[in-house]
Structure 1
Amino acid sequence: MDIFEEMKEHGHEQVIFNYDKTTGLKSIIAIHDTTLGPALGGCRMWNYETMDAALKDALRLSEGMTYKCGVSGASFGGGKAVIIADPKTDKSDELFQAFGTFIETLKGRFYTGTDVGTVGMDFVSASKQTNYLVGLPEEYGGSGNSAIITSFGVWKAIKATAKEAFGSDSLKGLTIAVQGLGKVGHFLVDHLHEEGAHLVVTDISKQNIDAVLAKYPEIEAVEPEEIYSVPCDIFSPNALGAVINDTTIPQFRCAAICGAANNVLAEERHGDILFEKGITYAPDYVTNAGGLIQVADELHGYNKDRAFKNASMIYDTLGQIFKISKEQHIPSYKAANTLVETKIEKISRIKTKFTGK
């Protein structure tokens, strides 16, 4: 990989490689765009097969965070950290303290917290060396489980999507196929069930399915590979990324797609295909921004009511995006990008003014 060509193509400002010989820590921090403010993004711990794979993940995810911050109204830019290690066997207090020292060297240019492979207690260790962290457990001064507010935001997004696709934001009587019943999905089911939606669910974990069926025995469960072809009004992906692809699109029997999973379009062209097919698609970085909204609020002194109020605005943001999509006759993912890019351009011009500092 030609790292400078990748940075040039996608607009990255900075990539930092970190190694600690005492703990064996290998990490990469990618900072995409800080026009709106310091970079904010989680830390993913994964046993990547190659360094290039880890680098690509950091670059891709940090760019996505710029758009997520921009569309959610947070005064932050996009960043991401990855740790190249096995989260099941390689964690230690010392390793995350070492990671914390590298975060500290950036002096507030980058804030981080949990992501795939990491949990709040990992950053309790990191907090011994830096304060530039978000998403700590409540007992350590953080805002707690962000899956709750994320599911709330996705529920609001599904209502906005239903309004666009069917003319009403009521979910009563609609069939919604929910893929993934983990951190976010099982909370989302509560919202959807309470509204009277008919739910068809799946998960690769039988334990997750059993937990939902024990609570709502009337819900229908299907095998993971069957969820794409379920006849439904809305398909809601809340697990893996890249699930909208050449294989799954021909199977879809839905009118709309909206969920919490990141990077659900395997390629941007798949968003074009959905648009051509008339399937209403809610861009993922808009729908799943609730967690980001919560941790960003921590940096202003966390207020739960304020965070949930801001998360509820996902509904209105999607309305704007769908309006742009219709007016400009472009896919919704392009409309969302246009909304964010226009905002970043305007803020960059505002910041050029001399303020006497």
Structure 2
Amino acid sequence: MTLTAERYDTELHRNVGVFERTDFPADSAHEQVTFFQDPATGLKAIIAIHDTTLGPALGGTRYYPYADEAAALKDVLRLSRGMTYKSAIAGVDLGGGKAVIIGDPATGKSEALLEAYARFVQTLGGRYITAGDVGTNSDDLDVMGRATDYVVGCNTAAGGSGDSAPMTALGVFHGMRAAAQAKWGSPSLAGRTVGVEGAGKVGYQLIKLLLADGASVVATDVNAAALERVARDYREVTIAPAVIDRAVDVYAPCAMGATLTGESVAAITAEVICGAANNQLADTAVEHDLADRGIIWVPDYVANGGGLIQVAGERLGTSTKDVRTQVEKIFATVVQILDVAKREGILAGAAADAVAETRLAAAR
């Protein structure tokens, strides 16, 4: 049965369900949404399978202290739809899916909980394949691998391809270079100042690439330990309480999504926005606001496809060299999208969607 997303309400007591939502496009039907819980370990999880036209749904498991189940559901539905488009535009034979575990990974995560979650993944029979995301890492995936066959991104010692953060950061870097070429006529970021919001797994790797290219970096994160690591390893990086409204050339959101709102866009000085965070736009109208101000935004699901390309390659036995080559092609993909947007007078988001939807339509 198809799950249509036609209405959403954050007030759970009003009993507004997933079949009656209005905060999703009419064509954003999900194939399957499954809720799991395991009282013994405290596990509460949701797995959303958006589309399996191109192959089994693959997407990371996000472990996050959502305010309530409604917030978790909204996030997993948006993220899973994004994975469908990410797979399509990355050229991999995978569908779109995502999972969330509700809770604080700093206090609630345990091997027993991860194994219980993995057993639930196993019950889906391969329709959903999990990987890492915010709040989960390769060590966690190793634990999940004890109870499910459908996990990628484990450590190399456990037979996986390891942490996908470096490849995700590499894709963002090349997407940023393509945007820089469109805006300033050169793909080099030397002499540019980049504000990196989120200095965790991907943000840390992105900072490394930016510094090597000659950029200046301003970094922020809500996690003090992440900032301490950056300050220790990269003394030339400026640590700031925020970067979105700072005087930078490029804003790189690499933490949670929805930081681009009507209000925040008004305060942005950056001329290019390209980062690893998913669902960066609070709503689609925000991209119009960015375009009105002449700001180039690289659609997030295009820029952050490097990790997906890596784990897709893991399933096929693709060499590390070939995976890297495919990730570097994100540069050409972004160039194509920005060229189409300029030529046809449409937004970059619409241009990217058209490329993804053409592949999906052909497969159907």
TM-score clears 0.5: yes
Letter in 2 for 1:101: R
Task: Please list the CA deviations of residues 39-69 of structure 1 after superposition, one character each: whole Å capped at 9, or x if unmatched.
Answer: 0011122333332222222211111111111
2:169 and 2:276 in contact (8 A); partners too: yes
Q: CA deviation at 1:205?
A: 4.0
Q: Secondary structure at the match of 2:161?
A: coil
1:62 and 1:80 in contact (8 A); partners too: yes
1:38 to 56, 65, 75: 56
Q: CA deviation at 1:24?
A: 4.5
Matches within 5 A, 1:178-327: 178-224=196-242, 227-327=243-343
Whether 1:14 and 2:32 are equivalent positions in the alignment is yes
1:32 and 1:55 mapped to 2: Cα distance?
A: 13
Q: CA deviation at 1:302?
A: 4.5
Task: Please list the CA deviations of residues 210-243 of structure 1 after superposition, one character each: whole Å capped at 9, or x if unmatched.
Answer: 443444444433332xx23333322222223212
1:38 and 1:108 in contact (8 A); partners too: yes
Cα 1:171–1:51 shift into 2, 3 Å: closer
Q: CA deviation at 1:19?
A: 3.2
- How many residues of Structure 1 are paired with residues of Structure 2 in the alignment? 346
Letter in 1 for 2:320: K
2:65 and 2:233 mapped to 1: Cα distance?
A: 35
99-108 or 30-39, which deviates more: 99-108
1:88 to 84, 94, 106: 106
Aligned CA-pair RMSD:
2.0
Q: CA deviation at 1:193?
A: 1.4
1:114 aligns to what?
132
2:137 and 2:163 in contact (8 A); partners too: no
Percent of aligned pairs with the same residue? 43
Q: CA deviation at 1:159?
A: 0.7
Whether 1:125 and 2:143 are equivalent positions in the alignment is yes
1:161 to 170, 173, 179: 179
Whether 1:332 and 2:355 are equivalent positions in the alignment is no
1:297 and 1:168 mapped to 2: Cα distance?
A: 31
1:171 and 1:273 mapped to 2: Cα distance?
A: 25
2:157 to 117, 139, 149: 139
2:45 and 2:99 in contact (8 A); partners too: yes
1:62 aligns to what?
80
5+ residue gaps, structure 2, are 1-15
Cα 1:44–1:218 shift into 2, 3 Å: closer
Q: Secondary structure at the match of 2:154?
A: coil
Task: Please list the CA deviations of residues 155-199 of structure 1 after superposition, one character each: whole Å capped at 9, or x if unmatched.
Answer: 111110101111111222222222222211222122111222233
Cα 1:173–1:250 shift into 2, 3 Å: same
Letter in 1 for 2:56: P
Q: Secondary structure at the match of 1:248?
A: helix
Q: CA deviation at 1:317?
A: 0.7
Letter in 2 for 1:301: G
2:119 and 2:147 in contact (8 A); partners too: yes
Q: Secondary structure at the match of 1:112?
A: strand
Q: Secondary structure at the match of 2:108?
A: coil
1:102 to 116, 120, 138: 120
Whether 1:177 and 2:195 are equivalent positions in the alignment is yes
Task: Please list the CA deviations of residues 291-325 of structure 1 after superposition, one character each: whole Å capped at 9, or x if unmatched.
Answer: 11111111112521111111101101101110121
2:110 and 2:191 mapped to 1: Cα distance?
A: 49
1:104 and 1:180 mapped to 2: Cα distance?
A: 32
1:121 and 1:136 in contact (8 A); partners too: yes
Q: Secondary structure at the match of 1:261?
A: coil
2:303 and 2:196 mapped to 1: Cα distance?
A: 15
Letter in 2 for 1:67: Y
Q: CA deviation at 1:347?
A: 1.4
Q: Secondary structure at the match of 1:116?
A: coil
2:141 and 2:152 mapped to 1: Cα distance?
A: 8
2:79 and 2:205 mapped to 1: Cα distance?
A: 24
Cα 1:142–1:171 shift into 2, 3 Å: same
Letter in 2 for 1:317: T
1:205 and 1:16 mapped to 2: Cα distance?
A: 31
* TM-score normalized with structure 1 length: 0.90
2:13 aligns to what?
none
Cα 1:48–1:231 shift into 2, 3 Å: closer
Cα 1:291–1:328 shift into 2, 3 Å: same
1:77 aligns to what?
95
Q: Secondary structure at the match of 1:191?
A: helix
Q: Secondary structure at the match of 2:251?
A: strand
93-102 or 160-169, which deviates more: 93-102
Letter in 2 for 1:2: G
